[in-house]
Structure 1
Amino acid sequence: MNAPTMPAPDWATRHAEYRRLLILRDADAAFGTLADARYNREMALQQAETRCGTREEALAQRDVKAASRALSAAEERHYQDYGDQLEAAAIAAVLAPAPDLGAVEIKMALIRLFELDNSLAMPRTPMDIIQQDTDRLADRPTASLVPGDRPAIATDQAAAHLTNADQLAESIASLISPAEHTVSGLRQALTLLHLQQDELRRAAESMGESI
């Protein structure tokens, strides 16, 4: 009986670093500085709307403008703290040799999520990387994971798809904003909505569920 293939240290370390940054990024968006700035801007806008006749007037109020500037600054800090670092960590994980096919699947999710097939930061094409991994793993047993690893990998894949869906939701929200929407923007929002639904479906499939 073949012994289970243990994860390559380089892959494990790099993937763990990606997950660490992902957790910090999501925490900032959920209940950190970025979340606070979003809440403050929303509260300022709601209060202004009770005083003003139209949304346009509310957006022009001094307190709303100040809250909007604070939100923009928080979004910029959020991107500086996690944007490039998270993508760099994803690239590092993708470049590490995959210890098993489950890791290759995670790489595929990261490549899609960060659109690494179009990234100039990639020293090799994603296809070359995936091909090399699968060629190297071709002679290994397909059940190379220890029993407890499969749920963790499925969770990682689902998290990647849900993160992508969340990012698409933010883009859709900006396109359908009553103060800013256009016909072309609404059409683009519909396209993004279909992509978001596909990401949600993929997340459910990763967890062995259906929607």
Structure 2
Amino acid sequence: MLIAMMDLDNQFGYWNSAGTSKTFGHPVEPSWLEGIDPQASVLDYGCGYGRLAGLLAEWGFDNVEGVDVAPNLVARARAQQPGARFTVLDAPPRLDRPDGSVDMVLLIAVLTCIPGDDGQRTLVTELRRVLRPGGLLYLSDLCLQADQRNRSRYQQFAARYGTYGVFETADGAVCRHHTVDWLDDLFIGFDQVGTREVSVDTMNGHPARATQLLLSAGPSDVAHR
């Protein structure tokens, strides 16, 4: 019997307990931020303990907000990164932002934490709502990995969750690695500005290859000087 993905798309219990102690390693490419106004409104969705929001603040961006579902992660972010501001999401993925009010969204290793198609679509729709025309979305996430450890667990959990690439971690999270075709479909309507692959360590310390996309919400340059 398939497990309803909607029940797993907000794993509050995990992220507010075991997830609080995790270390996240996806990098941000500085050249992809060149030309963005330091006053631009930047939203780090799924900010965790604020690593990237704090980094952008150090780089001179002074209008950065990180949001996350887990109060304990947000508390850690506020303590470690006083140069940015952080908010707990009460009803994710809904954002307390007007339409078209954000210049750039960071979505870094977030989709892997939302295993369901509908949950991912709902999030991307909300992010598109708050992005200005021409605003940027910086995605970093994991596509299907080629190593035997990952292929074995994709196969192990495929029947349970109904999606090849969804799997359980040993400490209780349900995660997803994606096909390229799925990401293309999920972000249809966005324009691709940049793409690259990088080596990362997962939150449990395993090496992986991450796919990074820089996407534009439209043909304007309002997010730039």
**Where is the strand percentage greater, Structure 1 or Structure 2?**
2
More contact order relative to length (CA 8 Å, sep ≥ 6): 2
Q: Which band: TM-score by shorter chain? A: under 0.3
TM-score by length of 1: 0.27
Structure 1 or 2, whichever has the larger Rg, is 1
**Where is the helix percentage greater, Structure 1 or Structure 2?**
1
